[in-house]
Structure 1
Amino acid sequence: MTMRMGLVLLLALLLLSGCDTAPDASTAMNARQYARDVEQWRAQRLARLRAGDGWLSYIGSGRLRPGSYRLGSAPGNDLLLPAGPAQLGLLEVDANGNARIDGKPGSGATLNGHPLRQAELRPGVAGMQEASRIRLGTSEFYLVRMGSVLGWRFRDPGSARRRNFQGIEHFPVDRRWQVQARWQPYAQARQAVLLTSIGTPLPAQVPGEAVFEMDGRTFRLQPVLDKEALPSRQLFFLFSDRTSGRETYGGARYLYAAEPRDGKLVLDFNRAENPPCALTPHVVCPIAPAVNRLDLAVTAGEKFQYLPQ
């Protein structure tokens, strides 16, 4: 063999060797980057939960029916607040769910930066309407509407639940659960009714379904349009699976996905999260519909643990 032929063979072997190892190195690098991305998402989510206006700041809640309510933190009030002035005022709710408050002079409460007097209280509706918020120092009281239910919320950034929060447990990050699904849109969005964590109905729109394969089986998930994410039309999946009620929250886990492109979308179950009602008893949230109960153990995303009060 001539020296020239030997060099040609050596070069060919090096090229073949490079073809064998380069994809493995690239795959490992992509996997590390993906894990970092998921960890960053987790850190951002925990920061939102730990924020003064996060879910962990709620310390009081309840439902309201038509009638008159004396508000305050002192015993004897019709609606007993967990904190704030002894007497906040008189709240009146009519048969149509409209609310009006007559504030107690000297309570220290404010509305829109002014001392609380007589005022209409606009309830908050997720993604559609901001609530009229009564400020009580660093705390706040306001009304919310979910479907046909009118309720109240009390928020305190100094809540013990927020102070004692240690984080959320997760399944290990596994790239297998970053699933590419086929998107099958409906000709027109279908009307659906979700149930909430307290059993009340909640209207929703279903624009289509995501179809994916896992372990040789085909699964389908129907999203609803997330009003809070509009106009991006981000898809919002509420699902349960074989881990639900055991390792994960029984009612549902939530998963958001970007708008489909070219008939496909990504379901990244490593970013599956607990609903707000798994973090505090003072909010109401929709649970997974029967069609989204997967006969599959989704060992990815957030686990459920009881949080300190």
Structure 2
Amino acid sequence: MLRRHLWMGFLSLGVGLVHAEHNASSKVSSTEPSATEVTRQAEQWQQQRLARLTAADGWLSLVGLDWLHQGDNRVGSAADNDIVLKVGPAHLGVISLAADGTAKIVLDENSGATIDGKTQHEARLIDDVQAGEKGKPTTVAFGTANFFVIERDGRKGLRIKDADAPTRKHFLGLDYYPIESSWRVVADWVPFDPPHKLEIGTVLGTIDKVDVPGKAVFQRDGHTFELLPYQEEPGGELFFVIADRTSGKETYGAARFLYAALPKDGKVVLDFNRAYNPPCAFTPYATCPLAPPENRLDIAVTAGEKKYRGSEH
């Protein structure tokens, strides 16, 4: 399931793409930003992107994704646990997963861990789906690390983060194509009523069906392209999961992500200078969506984030 992460922000997770750019001959209205302003905004966005990614609890801090089984799951860094953590106390506690999906934790008396910042012996674990878009899952913290429960396709797992993760401490930075105003595309928006269904695969091998509210249509190099987005929450931005001729070569092979503001006056702005890599480009512990066939562009989108130099996949 893709619901909110994708990506993630993924987590959380998203759909959408066909690439194009304004026709060189098309006129730019007086309300369109100048090339200098497009560059300034894109540079500001890149700085914010870097700050989110490298934050102590950002995607680079992921050190584990372990699935819970029904019943008791002993958790800790010692080898005799059911879930062996890369960091933390030898025996942190026991997570019990009921048949109805309810999870609770009972901490070991010597764990030194906290639950949502409080010292308590046991608590129910609210997962990311139960918490919803506005809430937060229950977080168990210990030292520089923490975990919370995620729900994916009916399965419950622990997403484990560590501020001292090697992927964060030895991060090699982000590489981008040069910013070009021509890659800020004003596309026509064609709404769907009712919304169309689109199947999105994930790195876990699962398939989700999402509602597509419409399509972005634009032209480039004499060809017409269409992008199919979905919304991760009602009224939220359009989320595109895209691939193109650079995928697997100059850019990450599975997909890149792109957000766009809601359509206005029948138009939607697609700034491909802000196309970026999903969490899976940096860590094997994320659950990212894959670009659907409908959003694989037969054109090289030489804009946005390039393949991560430190990626092993």
With normalisation by structure 2, the TM-score equals 0.84
The residue number in structure 2 matching 1:239 is 242
- Residue deviations 1:275-297, cap 9 Å, x none? 11112111111111111111111
Give the alignment partner of residue 68 of structure 1, picking from 47, 68, 72: 72
For 1:149, give the aligned amino acid: R
The one-character-per-residue Cα deviations of 1:115-162 (angstroms, maximum 9, x if unpaired) are 342321111126365211011133211111133232211111122211
Alignment of 1:118 with 2:122, yes or no, is yes
Aligned twin of 1:183: 189
Of the three residues 144, 148, 152, the one matched with 1:142 is: 148
Of 206, 209, 214, the residue aligned with 2:212 is 206
Structure 1 residues 222 and 262, CA gap change in structure 2 (3 angstroms)? same
CA distance in 1, matches of 2:93, 2:292: 40
Q: Does 1:249 align with 2:255?
A: no
1:1-309 matches, cutoff 5 A: 30-125=34-129, 127=133, 129-227=135-233, 231=235, 233-307=236-310
Q: Which moved more, 1:107-116 or 1:180-189?
A: 107-116
* Rounded Cα–Cα distance in structure 2 between residues aligned with 1:291 and 1:61: 30
Whose relative contact order is higher, 1 or 2, with alpha carbons under 8 Å and at least 6 apart?
A: 2
What amino acid sits opposite 2:286 in the alignment?
V
User: Relative to 1, partners in 2 of residues 1:308 and 1:235: Cα closer, same or farther, differing over 3 Å?
Assistant: closer
Distance in 1 between residues matched to 2:266 and 2:146, nearest whole Å? 45
1:264 CA drift (Å) = 0.5
CA drift at 1:67 = 3.2
Shift of 1:216: 0.3
Distance 2:161 2:220 in 1: 42
Taking only aligned residues, the RMSD between alpha carbons, in angstroms, comes to 2.1
Gaps of 5+ in 2: 1-29
State the alpha-carbon separation in 1 of the partners of residues 288 and 118 from structure 2.
32
CA distance in 2, matches of 1:295, 1:92: 49
Q: Is the 2:282–2:311 Cα contact (8 Å) retained in structure 1?
A: no
Is the contact made by 1:240 and 1:292 (CA closer than 8 Å) also made in structure 2?
A: yes
Give, as a single letter, the amino acid of the residue that structure 1 aligns with 2:310.
Answer: L
How big is the shift at 1:43? 1.1
Contact 1:177/1:268 (<8 A) preserved: yes
Task: Write the letter of the residue equivalent to 1:293.
Answer: R
Instruction: Say how many residue pairs are matched.
Output: 280
CA–CA distance in 1 between the matches of 2:272 and 2:98?
44
Q: 1:52 to 1:288 in 2, by over 3 A?
A: same
TM-score normalised to structure 1 length: 0.85
Higher-helix-fraction structure: 1
Q: Which residue identity lines up with residue 196 of structure 1 in the other structure?
A: T
- Percent identity among equivalent residues? 45
Aligned to 1:5: none
1:140–1:241 distance in 2 versus 1, CA, 3 Å: same
Task: Give 1:256 deviation, angstroms.
Answer: 0.5
Q: Which amino acid aligns with 1:197?
A: V
Contact 1:147–1:203 at 8 Å: present in 2 too?
no
1:4: which partner in 2? none
User: For the Cα contact (< 8 Å) 1:59–1:82, is it kept in 2?
Assistant: yes
The farther-off stretch of 80-89 and 168-177 is: 168-177
Residue type of the alignment partner of 1:221: L
4+ residue segments displaced more than 4 Å: none
Q: Of the two, which has the highest radius of gyration?
A: 1
Structure 1, 167-176 or 237-246: larger mean CA deviation: 167-176
Distance 2:224 2:203 in 1: 28
State the shift of 1:244 in Å.
0.8
